[in-house]
Each structure stands twice: as C-alpha cells, then as structure tokens.
C-alpha cells in the first residue's frame, strides 16, 4: 500500500514560485521506517518527481540541524569568503529538501563564535552568539537565494537556567584547535577553560539545556502562513538568556553556548515536527569507530542508544547529537523519527540508505534495538572521516 494522504491543500501556482513550484501541502504519517525495511513502492513516490529517492510523504515537517563546520572547508581559514563558498556547496542539497518538505533549518556556530571571541575577548557569549547567528544566517540566506530558495533568518532567544550543573563543568567546544602550549598560554592569559579535542585542545564553555524558545510562535506562524519561505532559526542553539527572578518578564544574557542539536530537537518537538535530522561531516553512529571491526548503525531505538550509552565518550561532539535525537523521538508525536548522517548524503538519509535512523519501532531484524549495516563492516574499512572526534564508542 502507498502512504495514506490525510489532507491536501491546493495553493495557487503563482504564490508558490518561490518554493520550487510545489502546489500541494500534504500531511501524512511518516513512512520512513518502511524505506529502511522494504523495497520502495512506486506508489509511495508517485505524488511528485523528486531529485532524490524517498518514500516519506511530501511535506512532512522536518527540522534539519547543520553543524557550524559545514561552513568551513578542511584546511581553509574561517573567513566570510570561505564560508560563502562552503554555503554555496551546501545550498542545493538543502533547497532540494525544502522543495519537498516543510523544512526548518538550524545551524551550529562553534567555529564562528570561537573566532569572534578571539577578536573581541571582552564580549559576552550571548552577544557573540547573536553576532554569529546574524552572520551565518546571512551567509546561508545568500547561498540559498542563489538556488531559488527564499529564507527568513530569525534571531532567537532561548531561556536557560543559570544555576544548571553545566556551568560547573563546561563541555561545549568553541573556536579553533590549539597545541598544548598555545592552550596553556590562552588559559593563563584569558582565563579560558581548555579541554582535549582529539590530539589537540579547544576552548570549552558552559552548555546548559535549552528551556523556553521565545520566538517559536513566530516560526510556527511563518510555516503556516508563508509555506514558500524556509525559516532559519535557533542558530548556534539560540541566544542564551535567563529571567530575572524578581521580574520574570525581564531577560538578561547568559555567558554560555547552547548546543544547537539539543535546541533543534526541542524546536522540532514544539513545532510538532515529523522528523529531526542532524547533518554532520562524518556519517551516522558507529561502533568501534576507526577499528577493523567498526560498523555503522542503520537503525536504532532510543532505548538501545541509552542502554549502551552511545556517544557518552564524546560529550562535546557526538554525544549531544545522539542525545538530541533521543530527546526528539521520546518527546515527539507517534511515529516521530530522527536521523544522523553526513551532509553530503542528506537525500539518501530519507531512504535510510545512509546515516542512522532513530525510532521507537525499527521492526525487521531490530529485535535487539539495533540494525547494523553489515556490508559496511565487511567492505568499508575506512569510514568517513570527520573534523570532530567520532562517534559512539
């Protein structure tokens, strides 16, 4: 059987030109899982011609989180010019997804906010976060505009608890990598907290969990009233603020960086999204990454990931991505799914041909809560390399 289309709203074609000519907004339950476990049905994709293979319904509401590293090519300096080039490479992939789905894009800001902190060491991280959000929003908007995708970057404030334990043990990596001597010097001269990131060191700052997303109603209104516009929201996890206890309507900035994946998951839940995708530069979730017996998860349940403590060895990189996926699926509607995969494989993630799908019911051979890509373990001895420490264990 093909997917059941519960409701279709036909829109005047002239009003949809900025959305790649899409003329229907169809909401239905997710069939992504069936793509992971069975051959795709021609009926499932007959509603439209896509630029990629997928059996998920058209116009599923999906939040896509892209890492800040996506705007920095390997070996290149972090400049606006280089960021624009990297964004131009990424834009066609995002635009293809936006044409077929009700998309919200969020992004990281680790490299960018760290560079800004070097330039303006006296500035607080709430201000730096706002600056990086505007900077990256502009870069993404310009790149996506060049491929016919209209965007609306939104400056988002996110309420956090200033007494959270995260302020006692900073874990969020920001900025470039340093050698041991450089890290020690910066720690002594600027008072920065530094921690190992692979064989190098990076600055770490507190990363409290996101609480209230203050602009979520504006994002929801944009999705409902302007379906041809792609919202770019909660960049860098949003601007961290807290409420003054004596006057809760008054906000004050907080010296922290909220993890963009955890904020993206919360945003997806609040928008009642069908799916949440975390795009990395290193593929899905691996076991024994970099070793001869390395293998990638094709699909896993939140219970399995929690039980095996996947990603806990990497609290500053992969750990939050996995936890964000778990949080979304556990807090989402029935059938909610999440996926983690490489940015270059974004389209293939929809058919579960790449990356890792996270869902309560993975069916098939997933009676133990996980389905492995056995062929990867047999034939691919060199998994995709990432700029960040990898992966689950």
Percent of the chain whose pLDDT exceeds 90: 55
Distance CA 105, CA 386 (A): 21
Comparing 81-90, 239-248, 332-341, which segment has the lowest mean pLDDT? 81-90
Q: Is 260 a catalytic residue?
A: yes
The catalytic residue among 96, 172, 387, 391 is: 172
The catalytic residue among 67, 108, 260, 352 is: 260
- Sorting pLDDT into bands at 50, 70 and 90, what band is 358? very high
The catalytic residue among 96, 321, 384, 391 is: 321
Q: Is 69 a catalytic residue?
A: yes
Q: Is 247 a catalytic residue?
A: no
Comparing 12-21, 161-170, 355-364, which segment has the lowest mean pLDDT? 12-21
Comparing 50-59, 136-145, 199-208, which segment has the lowest mean pLDDT? 50-59
- pTM of the complete model: 0.79
pLDDT of 31 higher than 90: no
Question: Model confidence over 66-120: pLDDT tens digits?
Answer: 987 677 766 677 788 888 888 999 999 999 999 989 999 999 988 888 888 888 8
Question: Model confidence over 303-315: pLDDT tens digits?
Answer: 999 998 886 666 5
The catalytic residue among 19, 59, 67, 68 is: 68
- Sorting pLDDT into bands at 50, 70 and 90, what band is 379? very low
Averaged confidence pLDDT in the chain: 81
Q: What is the pLDDT of residue 10?
A: 32
In a 13 Å sphere around the CA of 197, the CA atoms on its Cβ side amount to 23
Query: Distances from the Cα of 235 to the Cαs of 18, 132, 164, 203, in angstroms?
Result: 23, 8, 21, 20
The catalytic residue among 19, 59, 69, 109 is: 69
Q: Mean of the pLDDT values across residues 356-369? A: 84
């Amino acid at each position: 059987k093909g997917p059941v289309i519960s409701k279709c709203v036909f829109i005047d074609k002239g009003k949809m030109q900025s959305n790649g000519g899409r003329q229907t907004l169809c909401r239905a339950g997710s069939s992504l899982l069936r793509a992971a476990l069975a051959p795709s049905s021609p009926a499932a994709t007959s509603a439209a011609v896509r630029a990629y293979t997928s059996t998920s319904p058209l116009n599923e509401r999906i939040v896509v989180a892209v890492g800040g590293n996506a705007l920095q090519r390997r070996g290149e300096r972090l400049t606006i010019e280089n960021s624009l080039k990297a964004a131009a490479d990424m834009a066609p992939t995002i635009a293809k997804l936006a044409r077929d789905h009700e998309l919200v894009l969020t992004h990281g800001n680790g490299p960018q906010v760290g560079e800004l902190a070097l330039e303006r060491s006296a500035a607080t991280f709430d201000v730096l976060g706002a600056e990086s959000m505007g900077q990256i929003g502009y870069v993404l908007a310009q790149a996506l505009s060049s491929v016919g995708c209209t965007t609306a970057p939104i400056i988002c404030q996110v309420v956090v608890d200033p007494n959270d334990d995260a302020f006692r043990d900073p874990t969020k990596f920001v900025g470039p990598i340093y050698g041991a001597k450089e890290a020690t010097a910066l720690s002594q001269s600027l008072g920065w907290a530094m921690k190992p990131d692979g064989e190098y060191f990076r600055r770490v700052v507190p990363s409290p969990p996101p609480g209230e997303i203050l602009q979520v109603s504006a994002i929801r209104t944009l999705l409902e009233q302007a379906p041809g516009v792609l919202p770019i929201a909660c960049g860098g996890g949003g601007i961290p603020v807290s409420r003054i206890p004596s006057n809760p309507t008054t906000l004050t900035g907080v010296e922290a960086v909220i993890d963009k994946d955890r904020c993206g998951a919360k945003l997806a839940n609040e928008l009642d999204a069908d799916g949440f995708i975390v795009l990395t530069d290193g593929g899905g979730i691996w076991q024994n990454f970099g070793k001869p017996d390395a293998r990638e998860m094709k699909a896993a349940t939140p219970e399995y990931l929690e039980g095996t403590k996947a990603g806990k060895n990497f609290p500053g990189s992969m750990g939050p991505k996995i936890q964000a996926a778990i949080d979304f699926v556990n807090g989402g509607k029935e059938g909610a799914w999440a996926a983690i995969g490489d940015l270059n494989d974004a389209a293939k993630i929809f058919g579960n041909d790449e990356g890792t799908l996270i869902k309560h019911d993975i069916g098939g051979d997933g009676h133990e809560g996980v389905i492995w890509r056995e062929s990867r373990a047999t034939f691919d001895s060199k998994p995709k390399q990432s700029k960040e420490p990898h992966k689950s264990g």
